[in-house]
């Protein structure tokens, strides 16, 4: 028995080259990751946003997307395929729950996922890690948190995003009224995630948000905000509401936003790495 064991041990020397190969691959991967992080910090955007495998949508889902979501129509073929992949991943990962008797349809799921993935489309990390459940009410709902009726809220403790379907639908369908409930609530989730995470998308968001806040302390910018009343008053409730409203204006009215406040627009664009569909 001893002999056989010894012999078989010796036979393992043929594995050595594989061992070196594994170590070499590890070193390569380390340098690649280091390069990826360096690139993201230097150029303010991820080195790449996608791997090569794509998830597919069903025919019905793809049809809803192309008929009802105007942003999708503005994308290149390559970006369309990435967008469909992201929506499929998002729908598979989140649990959709209808409230007050509402049945969550395929159409609702596709459109909610579309708004979420639109806002995060410039990012590599597009999945909203803090959201597990998406609760959909037919209309405004009573929120016990502050004893008032709400159109939407992000509840980090319950890992839930809550939406009134009526208001969500108006938000994405009317594309130029600078109101978009879905964008608003998903921005809250994205910003809170950025505060707690260290991935490059999150650090970029935090850095650009600081740049935006710095702008707001400039007298010239403050006077212009006063005078133009461009952003609706609710934006000035607190930092989080400001970011959420900024995202709504950015998505819905990029040209007007850019012409009034080009520097804040520029920071918002970098914050989201939003470089497609004419933005
Ligand atoms: Zn809000």
CA angle 139, 141, 145 (to 5 degrees): 160
* Confidence (pLDDT) at 1: 47
Measure 109 CA to ligand 1 centroid, in angstroms.
Answer: 21
Burial-class residue 148 by CB neighbours within 10 Å (0-12, 13-18, 19+).
exposed
* Confidence (pLDDT) at 184: 96
Does pLDDT of 101 surpass 70?
Answer: yes
Q: Which two tokens stand for residue 259?
A: 């012409």
Measure 168 CA to ligand 1 centroid, in angstroms.
Answer: 13
Mean pLDDT of 256-271: 95
Measure 238 CA to ligand 1 centroid, in angstroms.
Answer: 9
> Between 257 and 147, whose confidence is greater?
257
Measure 154 CA to ligand 1 centroid, in angstroms.
Answer: 8
Mean pLDDT of 63-90: 95
Longest CA–CA span in the chain (Å) reads 91
Mean pLDDT of 110-129: 96
Measure 126 CA to ligand 1 centroid, in angstroms.
Answer: 20
185-213 confidence digits (pLDDT tens): 999 999 999 999 989 999 999 999 999 99
Measure 228 CA to ligand 1 centroid, in angstroms.
Answer: 22
The residues, ordered by sequence, that sit 6+ positions from 37 with a Cβ below 8 Å of its Cβ are 200
Rounded CA-CA distance 241/238 in Å is 5
Q: List helix spans (H) across 154-277.
A: 165-173, 181-196, 200-216, 219-228, 239-252, 254-260, 262-272
Measure 185 CA to ligand 1 centroid, in angstroms.
Answer: 6
Does pLDDT of 168 surpass 90?
Answer: yes
10-46 confidence digits (pLDDT tens): 567 777 777 888 888 888 887 778 777 777 777 777 7
* Confidence (pLDDT) at 2: 47
Q: How high is the mean pLDDT of the chain?
A: 89
- Among 17-21, 177-181, 187-191, 240-244, the least confident range: 17-21
Measure 205 CA to ligand 1 centroid, in angstroms.
Answer: 17
Does pLDDT of 238 surpass 80?
Answer: yes
**What is the gyration radius of the CA atoms in the chain, in angstroms?**
23
Measure 245 CA to ligand 1 centroid, in angstroms.
Answer: 8
Catalogue the long-range contacts made by 56-64 (C-beta closer than 8 Å, 24 or more residues apart). Answer: 56/84, 56/85, 56/88, 57/84, 57/87, 57/88, 57/110, 60/106, 61/87, 61/88, 61/91, 61/106, 61/110, 64/106, 64/107, 64/110, 64/111
83-94 confidence digits (pLDDT tens): 999 999 999 999
Q: Which two tokens stand for residue 54?
A: 């794509």
Measure 235 CA to ligand 1 centroid, in angstroms.
Answer: 9
Q: Which residues surround ligand 1, an ion (CB under 5 A)?
A: 241, 244
Measure 127 CA to ligand 1 centroid, in angstroms.
Answer: 20
Mean pLDDT of 246-270: 95
Measure 182 CA to ligand 1 centroid, in angstroms.
Answer: 10
Measure 43 CA to ligand 1 centroid, in angstroms.
Answer: 30
Measure 237 CA to ligand 1 centroid, in angstroms.
Answer: 9
Measure 121 CA to ligand 1 centroid, in angstroms.
Answer: 21
Percent of the chain with pLDDT over 70: 95
């Amino acid at each position: 028995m001893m002999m056989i064991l010894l012999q078989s041990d010796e036979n393992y020397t043929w594995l050595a080259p594989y061992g070196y190969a594994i170590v070499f691959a590890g070193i390569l991967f380390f340098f690649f990751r280091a390069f990826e992080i360096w690139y993201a910090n230097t150029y303010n955007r991820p080195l790449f946003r996608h791997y090569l495998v794509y998830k597919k949508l069903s025919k019905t889902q793809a049809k809803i997307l192309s008929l009802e979501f105007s942003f999708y129509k503005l994308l290149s073929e390559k970006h369309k395929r990435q967008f469909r992949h992201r929506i499929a991943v998002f729908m598979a990962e989140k649990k959709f729950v209808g409230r007050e008797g509402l049945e969550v349809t395929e159409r609702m799921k596709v459109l909610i996922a579309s708004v979420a993935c639109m806002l995060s489309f410039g990012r590599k990390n597009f999945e909203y890690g803090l959201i597990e459940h998406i609760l959909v009410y037919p209309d405004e709902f009573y929120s016990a948190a502050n004893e008032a009726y709400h159109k939407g809220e992000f509840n980090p403790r319950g890992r839930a995003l809550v939406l009134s379907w009526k208001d969500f639908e108006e938000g994405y369908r009317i594309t130029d009224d600078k109101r978009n409930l879905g964008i608003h609530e998903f921005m809250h989730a994205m910003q809170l995630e950025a505060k707690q995470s260290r991935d490059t998308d999150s650090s970029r968001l935090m850095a650009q948000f600081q740049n935006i806040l710095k702008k707001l302390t400039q007298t010239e910018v403050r006077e212009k905000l006063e005078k133009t009343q461009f952003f609706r008053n609710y934006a000035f409730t607190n930092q989080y509401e400001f970011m959420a409203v900024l995202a709504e204006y950015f998505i819905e009215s990029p040209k007007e936003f850019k012409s009034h406040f080009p520097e804040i627009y520029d920071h918002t664009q970098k914050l989201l790495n939003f470089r497609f569909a004419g933005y």
